[in-house]
Amino acid sequence: MLEQVFLHQKKYSLQLRKESLKVRLSFLDDLERLITEHQGDIVKALHADFAKPEAETLLTEVYPLIKEIQHTKKNLKIWARPTPVESGTALWGTKSVIKREPRGVCLIISPWNYPLNLALSPLIGALAAGNCAIIKPSEVSRHTSAFLKKYLPQYFRAEHVTVIEGGKETTEELMKFPFDHVFFTGSTRVGKIIMEQASRHLSTVTLELGGKSPVLVDESANLKHTAEKVVWGKFLNGGQTCVAPDYLLVQQNQWPHLKPLIIETIEKFYGKTDEQVQSPSLARMISKNHAQRMKTLLEDAVKTGAELVYGGNIDIEKSFISPTLLEKPDLQSDIMQEEIFGPLLPVITYNTLPEAIDFINQREKPLALYIFSNSRHNIREILEETSSGGVSINDTVIHVGNHHLPFGGVGASGLGNYHGYFGFRAFSHERAVLKRSWGHSLASRLYPPYTASKVDMLKTLLKWKL
Ligand code: NAD
């Protein structure tokens, strides 16, 4: 069955290459209609998956998709236009252009944490670039997967866009086919498996992975502002965000002042500790297993010396973990070794900025880095001396919402990027096309036999760097 789907898409992809931009734009219209016509079902599916608050579904799933579709529709004509480039002296008489062509049949594998956005945002790039796509959503967010499985076929033909549901085994089966591009969003561990499997066919890959994204707070930061932005970014989606602040690195003298502000903000957003379990503004863990993982991480952190500063309320039956603050975690404990991916926030203090920068550089390159500072000098130093997929300065998470910026990781946090033009580019092949318009190229004067005069000519070219 999978083979048939793949072969039908392969066949259709050859026809699709010949279609006009107008046709691609109509596909983007269809995707936009799917989302707007079923907004209510989307909210319900995400609520059923992990009690995601309606406001967060609209803000982080529906809104960014609609905005990205509009941005893509507005700019596609310019992005898809062939770009003329210089040919140079040696290729006199030729014209060169870069043509952006569809890759062909693409596989989109998505995770459960933003289950609609991360399945459909890559699809925007794939459709804009003229591709066919098979979407393999996460089996964990089963209500949203069922939504995609039910509604996408009502807007797209199966040979163009198909949803295949399933877990690890289904992905392994799919990865046996020679896809023209594999776009994977998920953990670094599985990303490595996908890249290995893609290498069998030399399929190109985009890997949107995770990691531990630090928040660096220096001595000049506005602490009230910092507390608000950190609490929002950390506990959004129940802490299950790839770019969520993973841990805080706070200048030692600032921490006693920042701590009460963070607690105050948590209570302003989600209520007092005994009210938080009822909060409709706080998403739950995606499953009891994921809640259990948080509980184990927290217990291990405390056992290995971390101080529980705030929170720590857990109800596994309700998949509930309350916003939790921890101080002085053991750097070898699991909470400081694994991506947390939940509402636990460990805090580490530092003395000097170089110490904090070293701390970041001794670890894998993160997907995001957050800097809270009012010192231009410090901001420059941190940017120059560290690496990460993206950065927000004096804010968290929101750089992902700008479709004019590429979104992706670096090193262990990912390979390649997307959103807006970068999504169109990820799903396009840049084809080099050179056409001789007149005359003979200089190269043809250098064809064999290689006489002394030809060698002299080459030496002259090199001497004058022509
Ligand atoms: P995951 O890696 O477990 O699963 C992602 C996808 O891979 C799912 O569709 C799943 O069915 C499939 N899969 C799982 N195990 C597999 C295997 N052994 N072989 C083949 N396929 C397999 O990730 P997750 O738990 O769904 O999502 C959380 C992770 O994703 C976190 O690490 C998070 O940081 C990351 N993430 C990254 C981004 C980003 O844009 N960079 C966005 C969201 C999530």
Q: Can you give the pLDDT at residue 91?
A: 86
What CATH number did the domain enclosing 249 receive? 3.40.309.10
Asked if the structure places residue 464 within a domain, the reply is no
Residue whose Cα lies nearest atom 35 of ligand 1: it is 186
Q: Which residue has the tokens 């890759």?
A: 103
Q: Tell me what the mean pLDDT of segment 14-41 comes to.
A: 98
Low-confidence winner among 58-67, 319-328, 429-438 (lowest mean pLDDT): 429-438
Q: How far is 242 from 348, CA to CA, in rounded Å?
A: 20
Residues 222 and 300 reside in one and the same domain: yes
Q: How far is CA 414 from CA 106, 108, 197, in A?
A: 18, 15, 16
Copy the structure tokens of residue 224: 């009230």
Q: How far is 323 from 273, CA to CA, in rounded Å?
A: 9
Give the relative orientation of helices 63-80 and 21-37 as an angle to the nearest 10 degrees: 180
Q: Can you give the pLDDT at residue 459?
A: 93
Asked if the structure places residue 343 within a domain, the reply is yes
Residues 198 and 245 reside in one and the same domain: no
**13: enclosing H helix or E strand:** helix 2-16
Percent of the chain at pLDDT > 90 equals 95
Q: Can you give the pLDDT at residue 289?
A: 97
Q: Can you give the pLDDT at residue 444?
A: 80
Q: Which residue has the tokens 């030496």?
A: 459
Give the E-state strand segments of 13-91 in sequence order.
83-85
Q: Can you give the pLDDT at residue 442?
A: 75
**Is residue 22 helix, strand or coil?**
helix
408 CA closest ligand 1 atom index:
41
Pocket test of ligand 1: the residue of 171, 205, 240, 287 to mutate, having most ligand atoms within 8 Å of its CB, is: 171
DSSP string covering 204-250: EEEEE----EEEEE-TTS-HHHHHHHHHHHHHGGGG--TTSEEEEEE
Q: Tell me what the mean pLDDT of segment 383-411 comes to.
A: 98
Q: How far is 255 from 349, CA to CA, in rounded Å?
A: 7
Judged against a pLDDT cut of 90, whether residue 12 lies above it is answered with yes
Distance in Å, CA 223 to ligand 1 centroid: 34
400 CA closest ligand 1 atom index:
40
Residue whose Cα lies nearest atom 12 of ligand 1: it is 168
Pocket test of ligand 1: the residue of 190, 213, 246 to mutate, having most ligand atoms within 8 Å of its CB, is: 190
Question: Phi and psi (nearest 5°) for 344?
Answer: -105, 130
Q: How far is 196 from 385, CA to CA, in rounded Å?
A: 31
Asked if the structure places residue 463 within a domain, the reply is no
Residues 174 and 262 reside in one and the same domain: no
Pocket test of ligand 1: the residue of 116, 135, 138 to mutate, having most ligand atoms within 8 Å of its CB, is: 138
Residues 221 and 180 reside in one and the same domain: no
Residues 150 and 227 reside in one and the same domain: no
Q: Tell me what the mean pLDDT of segment 51-57 comes to.
A: 97
**Is residue 410 helix, strand or coil?**
coil
Where does the pLDDT of residue 75 fall: very low under 50, low under 70, confident under 90, or very high at 90 and above?
A: very high
pLDDT in tens, 245-265: 999 999 999 999 999 999 999
pLDDT in tens, 139-195: 999 999 999 999 999 999 999 999 999 999 999 999 999 999 999 999 999 999 999
Under a CB-based contact definition with an 8 Å cutoff, are residues 297 and 338 in contact? yes
Low-confidence winner among 87-91, 219-223, 287-291 (lowest mean pLDDT): 87-91
Round the average pLDDT of the chain to a whole number and report it.
97
Q: How far is CA 63 from CA 115, 116, 233, 296, 402, in A?
A: 14, 11, 17, 35, 12
Residues 169 and 295 reside in one and the same domain: no
pLDDT in tens, 419-455: 999 999 999 999 999 999 877 777 788 899 999 999 9
Residues 96 and 30 reside in one and the same domain: yes
What CATH number did the domain enclosing 140 receive? 3.40.605.10
Residues 146 and 273 reside in one and the same domain: no
Residues 252 and 119 reside in one and the same domain: no
Asked if the structure places residue 443 within a domain, the reply is no
Cβ neighbourhood burial of 436 (10 Å; 0-12, 13-18, 19+): middle
User: How many domains in the chain?
Assistant: 2
In the chain, the amino acid numbered 342 is G
pLDDT in tens, 261-302: 999 999 999 999 999 999 999 999 999 999 999 999 999 999
Q: Can you give the pLDDT at residue 438?
A: 78
Under a CB-based contact definition with an 8 Å cutoff, are residues 211 and 364 in contact? yes
pLDDT in tens, 326-376: 999 999 999 999 999 999 999 999 999 999 999 999 999 999 999 999 999
How many other CB atoms are found less than 10 A from the CB of residue 28?
19
On the question of a cis peptide bond just before residue 346, with omega within 30 degrees of 0, the verdict is: no
Asked if the structure places residue 442 within a domain, the reply is no
Residues 177 and 310 reside in one and the same domain: no
Q: How far is 428 from 99, CA to CA, in rounded Å?
A: 9
Q: Can you give the pLDDT at residue 239?
A: 98
Q: How far is 454 from 105, CA to CA, in rounded Å?
A: 47
Asked if the structure places residue 438 within a domain, the reply is no
Residues 229 and 123 reside in one and the same domain: no
- CB of 239 closer than 6 angstroms to any ligand 1 atom: no
Q: Tell me what the mean pLDDT of segment 218-227 comes to.
A: 98
Judged against a pLDDT cut of 90, whether residue 461 lies above it is answered with no
Q: Which residues are catalytic?
A: 208, 242
Which domain range does residue 395 map to?
A: 214-408
Asked if the structure places residue 333 within a domain, the reply is yes
Under a CB-based contact definition with an 8 Å cutoff, are residues 122 and 418 in contact? yes
Where does the pLDDT of residue 89 fall: very low under 50, low under 70, confident under 90, or very high at 90 and above?
A: confident
Q: How far is 345 from 331, CA to CA, in rounded Å?
A: 14
Q: How far is 428 from 176, CA to CA, in rounded Å?
A: 22
Asked if the structure places residue 325 within a domain, the reply is yes
Residues 183 and 238 reside in one and the same domain: no
